[in-house]
Amino acid sequence: MDIFAKSLEFTAAKEAMKTGLYPYFIPMTESEGTEAVFHNHRLIMCGSNNYLGLTTDPRVRQAAIEAIQRFGTSCTGSRFLNGTLELHEQLERELAEWVGKPAALVFSTGMQTNLGTISALVGRGDVIILDKDDHASIVDGARLAWGETKRYKHNDMKDLERILKNVPKESGALVVVDGLYSMGGDLAPLPELVPLCRKYGARLMVDDAHATGVLGGGRGTAAHFNLTSEVDLIMSTFSKSFASLGGFIAGDEDVIHYIKHFARSLIFSASIPAANAAAALASLKIMREEPERVQRLTQIADRMRAGLRGLGFDIGKTVTPIIPILIGDDTRTLLAWKSLFDNGVFVNPILSPAVPQGQQLLRTSYMATHTDEQLERVLEIFGRVGKLLGLIQ
């Protein structure tokens, strides 16, 4: 059998393109953060992870420009060999301090952070335990690891304890959760997770990709719950609140030192360019010095959750700026996405198998830099589209 046969049989995307309901890989012409242009059509951006609105901040841009002028456009090597800059190490020190851990390690992407960290720590005879709603990068990190993978029902602590009880005493155990779940906008219940992990001798890693800059004054989920010292590893990315590209893992010095020498995705990947490191450093400085940005984001999230619920939309259990519009059908979800797009609002349609059948949704997310006028406009358009498509009364 020709290994390329599957590519000829994959027709779903092309069929969607013919109907005008293909929502992916749409090229952006320009972006001002809260607004973007697609095919000469200006939309209010409600589908970005630019939570603090820093991608267009002049200070972040200038930091990246100055780093390029000093170091050029690429490090042309891995962190392990010639690709470590003083900027990388400065960023690691400041990130560790920000999230409240002794040490941190910068990777080239958030995906690589999870792939490298998990596969380095979880070996033969070990067990890794995942929430069923964990991000794909966590799942793939578990696949790369030599240990056994177990999964429990989303945020179900009884199901987690059932698994923990059955981990052999001679096995190491690592529980990995999203601090803030990227589709539902809900949180991992760390006040319940921490004592369970301690009871059964498991280590706890929290992926704060969507929580850094959003929760705990910007320091993440553990800080939000005042449990920083109780969480063993904190991971996050630069592609969201840090307005850059890359990722990091933070924890005790000995553990980070071990990961640095055994994470294949770190050792065999080129390091992030100086511009990315400098942009992340500049963003971190703004987070420290302007706490009102996180406060503004919280206010906007509260307003939009109340507004969308008030219109009659089902937004699930979200408590954050990630607000899903639960629809439950692929076609209706695509129709809603297209109607919102045509009326000036960009959101992300999430279809099966990315979510289970019956849980299809529109993922909306908001920024600290959205204006009150933009938010009112978004709610007005949602109300009009929702009624037109029968999503609300």
- Whole-Å CA distances, 289 to 67, 218, 282, 286, 312: 21, 11, 11, 5, 38
Q: Which of 101, 150, 210, 370 is catalytic?
A: 210
Instruction: Name the phi and psi angles at 68, rounded to 5.
Output: -65, -45
Q: Which of 182, 271, 283, 365 is catalytic?
A: 182
Question: What is the C-alpha separation between 242 and 49, in angstroms, rounded?
Answer: 10
101, 252 contact by CB (below 8 A): yes
CA 178-181-194 angle, 5° bins: 40
Q: Is 182 a catalytic residue?
A: yes
Q: Is 240 a catalytic residue?
A: yes
Helix, strand, coil share (%) of the chain residues, nearest 5: 45, 15, 40
Question: What is the C-alpha separation between 46 and 185, in angstroms, rounded?
Answer: 14
Q: Residue 128: beta bridge partners?
A: 149, 174
Q: How large is the C-alpha radius of gyration of the chain?
A: 21
108, 237 contact by CB (below 8 A): no
| Sequence-distant (≥ 6) Cβ neighbours of residue 110 within 8 angstroms | 137, 209, 235, 236, 237, 238, 239, 246, 247
237, 274 contact by CB (below 8 A): no
Q: Which of 224, 240, 260, 370 is catalytic?
A: 240
Structure tokens at 382: 């949602």
- Residue by residue, DSSP assigns 63-131 as HHHHHHHHH-S---SBTTTT---HHHHHHHHHHHHHHT-SEEEEESSHHHHHHHHHHHH--TT-EEEEE
114, 122 contact by CB (below 8 A): no
Q: Active-site residues: which are they? A: 182, 210, 240
